[in-house]
Chains A and B, each alone.
Chain A
Amino acid sequence: MTPFNERIIEALETPELRSNLRGAMDFLRSKRSLSIEDYALWQQHQDIATDVRHALPQQLPELLEQLEQSCTRNGIEVHWAADASDARKIFLQIAQATNATRVIKGKSMASEEIELNTHLEQHGIESTESDMGEFIVQLANEKPSHIIMPALHKNQEQIAELFNQKLNEKADASDVDQLIGIGRKVLREKFKQADIGVSGVNFAAAKSGTLCLVENEGNGRLSTSVPNCHIAIMGIDKVIPDLSSLPSLLYLLTRSATGQEITSYVNLISGPRKPDELDGPKSVHLIILDNGRSSIASDPALAATLACIRCGACMNHCPVYTKIGGHAYGTTYPGPIGQVISPQLDGGEEHNELLNACSLNGACGEACPVNIELPDMIRELRNQRSAAQPNHTGEKMVWHAWRAIHQSPRLYQLTSLMMRIPGLSSLLFPRRWTKGRTSPTPANNTLHALIKAKTNHDNRDPQHEHK
């Protein structure tokens, strides 16, 4: 993969991508703020959800054991995977034991994390994404660029072109209903033929052994109802004690993600087809995936990220994500939450670079419905990283000088005066920075001088009223 810096430049230099992102982000943000009509109620739900989710790191071992017991009691087979390779092996064993050749997938970020599709194809098993966005991304041989809306980097014309090429259909770029109709037709056949249906898990209730799936399209329901075998993959952090907090979690999740009061479907699965039932999967498997999450639980600075409900609000509100989109991050989870958890989940030193893609504006922390202080975490991780690096004497000197100037009014005034000497200010900016930018011209008067002049003027003019 090209370095992060180059991926950023590549994204910024693609005008179509920037306009697609802008449109999608404006849409998601305005829908979210419109959906929070009753702020007092929002706060109530936020309190309940925050308490439940932040207690998680401490309760995880008990809750996971309880979930295993309850699921087993309900007839769901539970498997444990320490990492991505474990999870892939477990999946393949189940598939091979049932001679499965075709898999249909509902949306699942955990399955993206373990790169399930590539693995299955290597073993001669066809794996088809059935969420419309994921289907588009798979047809284009790409990865999702957003955790909720995987294909938001593409516009209607690009999608119609893709359907024409890959599906041999006469797709009309101006007619979204027709485009969706094509997807529906192609995927219905896949649902019918599939041996295994895959899903993620939004929440798993330990007490009752219930898997909760949230969706709008119905593809999640089809994946978990039509094939003979359903395999659900969940990160260990998806567990909740029981269903009592679910209304609050759903209230926050759907509003934060897409600005909906509730999704079209909330699907609660507590087991396979019963002996007297006529449909539903004959077996249900749950793969519980760690893949770095237990080391997050062990790190006091990061443990709170396990409270995340994967709504995507932090990326929708991040000025950096809005400009570069999800692909530039090169991780399963992009945006602010991805910057914090990816070094642990995806491994590799290179992900530390992601921490630079932040202006510390704090919007992600503000938007987070379960009070994860992402800005503090990013700052803390930057601290840790710079502590581990050799000292930059030049940088240190600059900041020492900056502090001295801002602590002394006289020194500050003197510096302001000097900055206005032509030619001198431009020396202060690093040449690399001014190569592509004009160095800023200092104003004729300082802010101090302007305020002083205004105060004098107001005092002289008794007619003046402050509004």
Chain B
Amino acid sequence: MNTNSQNAREKILERLRLASRAAARKKPDIQKKERISIQDNPLSKPLSLRDQLQKNRFEVIVVRNETLPQILSAIVEEIDESRPLSWLLGNGAVNNSIVDHLQKIDRQTAHQFDQPFETLKDSIFNDIDIGLTHCESVIKNTGTLVIQPSADEPRTLSLIPPIHVIIANKAVVFDSLDGYFAQEIELSLIEHSNLIFVSSPSKTADIQQKLAYGAHGPKRVIVVLSDQQLNEE
């Protein structure tokens, strides 16, 4: 920190300390709004996880006992593009194995994020169609997938390619954000310098309030879940 910033720091904190002491002497009473009690609200019945995710515009694939090649074929079918597709995946044993299986499917080419971003930047921006990441936590009532970028699965994997595939069939399902924050957040923060809560494909309503998908991030997000997580029987 340079001297200027140091001086500003002292000045700001000194002023705030004075203000804080004054505030302590004269504690303002917060006027909270009058409470309205509501008995039962039929509107507030929560959606199932699948419905919530679909409402948020995720494309959901449900698997039961399928093998990895079967799951990957189901994803390719969901993507439903006749042109050749270029995938980008992370590193580590699980991703290596996915890459091997993807290469065997028609018209699919898979690459790995195995060099610094600077080296791969042009190709990630220009050539990659699909980024694949895993997800360990899903939040039911907001339809949110928690993405934890790491050395194996970098930040831009889930961000730059126009299609994002999230493998979440082993994820823990939390009822609400409150639950996730109470149980998981501290540990996640220690391990990850970036955490992303994804609740829909990238979108905007900045032009005359008309909703458009694919603003700057992925236009399509495909999520793989297991039937146990959906608990729909």
Interface residues of A (CB under 8 A from B): 20, 23-24, 27-28, 37-41, 43, 46-47, 50-51, 54, 57-61, 64-65, 74-75, 77-82, 86, 89-90, 93, 130-133, 136, 149-152, 154-156, 159, 176-177, 179-181, 183-184, 187-188, 191-192, 208, 210, 216-219, 221-222, 225-226, 236, 243-244, 246-248, 250-251, 258, 261-274, 276-280, 288, 290, 294-295, 297-298, 300, 303-304, 366, 371, 373
Contact = CB atoms under 8 A, between A and B. Distances in A.
Top 5 closest pairs, chain A to chain B, by CB: A218-B217, A279-B117, A38-B44, A133-B206, A217-B215
Contacts of B150: 277
Given A265-B197, A270-B193, A136 B156 contact: no
Contacts of A46: 32-33
Interface stretch (B16-24, B70-78, B79-87, B165-173): B16-24
B195 A268 contact: yes
A41 B44 contact: yes
B1 interface: yes
B68 interface: no
16 contacts: A20-B208, A43-B36, A74-B193, A80-B8, A149-B209, A208-B186, A217-B216, A218-B218, A258-B205, A264-B199, A268-B195, A272-B193, A278-B114, A279-B154, A290-B8, A300-B26
Nearest to A39: B38
Given A265-B217, A297-B20, 20 more contacts: A37-B41, A58-B24, A64-B13, A77-B1, A86-B8, A90-B5, A133-B206, A180-B204, A210-B189, A216-B200, A217-B217, A226-B121, A246-B177, A262-B142, A263-B199, A265-B198, A266-B196, A278-B113, A295-B15, A297-B16
B196 A221 contact: yes
Contacts of A219: 215-216
A280 B149 contact: yes
B212 interface: yes
B198 A264 contact: yes
Contact of A155 (B7, B201, B208): B208
Given A38-B41, A269-B194, A57 B19 contact: yes
A71 B30 CA distance: 31
A367 to B, nearest CB: 10
Nearest to B15: A294
B203 interface: yes
B32 A50 contact: yes
A307 to B, nearest CB: 9
A209 B19 CA distance: 24
Nearest to A48: B178
B206 A132 contact: yes
A297 B23 CA distance: 8
A33 to B, nearest CB: 12
B105 interface: no
B152 to A, nearest CB: 9
Contacts of A79: 1, 5
B12 A80 contact: yes
Nearest to A82: B8
A244 B209 contact: no
A18 to B, nearest CB: 15
B204 A221 contact: no
B214 interface: yes
A191 B217 CA distance: 12
Contact of B5 (A61, A81, A133): A81
B159 A218 contact: yes
B155 interface: yes
A218 B202 contact: yes
Contacts of A78: 1
Contact of B151 (A187, A246, A276): A276
A371 B37 CA distance: 18
Nearest to A266: B197
B54 interface: no
Nearest to A155: B208
A184 to B, nearest CB: 6
A267 B185 contact: no
B67 interface: no
Nearest to B117: A279
B107 interface: no
B18 to A, nearest CB: 7
Contacts of A41: 44
A421 B100 CA distance: 95
A82 B11 CA distance: 7
A51 B28 CA distance: 12
A180 B214 contact: yes
A297 B19 contact: yes
B199 A262 contact: yes
A20 B207 CA distance: 11
Nearest to A53: B30
B104 interface: no
A89 B13 contact: no
Contacts of A155: 208
Contacts of A181: 214
A248 B182 CA distance: 12
Contact of B204 (A217, A262, A272, A300): A217
A89 to B, nearest CB: 7
A268 B13 contact: no
Contacts of B4: 86, 89-90
Nearest to A178: B212
Nearest to A258: B205
Nearest to A74: B193
Given A90-B5, A133-B206, A156-B210, A60 B178 contact: no
A152 B9 CA distance: 37
Interface string B18-56: 111011101010111101111001011000000000000
Nearest to B7: A82
A244 B181 CA distance: 7
Contacts of A86: 4-5, 8
Contacts of B5: 79-81, 86, 90
